[in-house]
Amino acid sequence: MKLTVIAITALLSGCIAPNVFYIGLLSEHDQSIFADAAAIEGVEVIDWPAPGFWFVKYGSPAHSAGVTSLGVIFIKHTFNVSCVANDPKASRDIYFAVIARHEIQHAQGNLAHSGNPDSVMHATPPCYPTD
């Protein structure tokens, strides 16, 4: 069943521009972080809604950090990680960028998770991926 949902999502998302993401539903601070992550992944961001583009918004149903659904990337607003000792704000921003990169790659059709624990595409992405 899960594989069928992934396959259908992959087929339908072909109707959506894989390289353009609407980030206007995020705070200005997070828009900046997502834009930096998008630049690393070689995709564009826009700050106005347009049909046929990916929407990025807060929330992550049934997932620990983020999830990519048909035309929408959901990213949690807060995370339970410690990337920077004794600095929850820095940890949150770093991890937001990592999760953004992870979900952008899913939106581009990379549905597989890496077995490399240092990869941004690992099932539980690290704070400082090496790729």
Residue 89 has pLDDT above 70, yes or no: yes
Residue range 89-106: mean pLDDT, rounded: 93
Helix (H, G, I), strand (E, B) or coil at 108: coil
Query: What are the sequence ranges of the domains in the chain?
Result: 2-107
pTM for the model: 0.83
Instruction: State the chain's mean pLDDT as an integer.
Output: 85
| CB contact at 8 A, 19 and 54 | no
pLDDT in tens, 17-74: 778 999 999 999 999 999 999 999 999 999 888 888 999 999 876 666 898 888 999 9
Q: Any idea which residue has 């990680």 for tokens?
A: 81
Classify burial at 25, counting beta carbons within 10 Å of its beta carbon; exposed 0-12, middle 13-18, buried 19 or more: middle
| CB contact at 8 A, 35 and 74 | no
Residue 98 has pLDDT above 90, yes or no: yes
- Look up residue 65 and give its amino acid: A
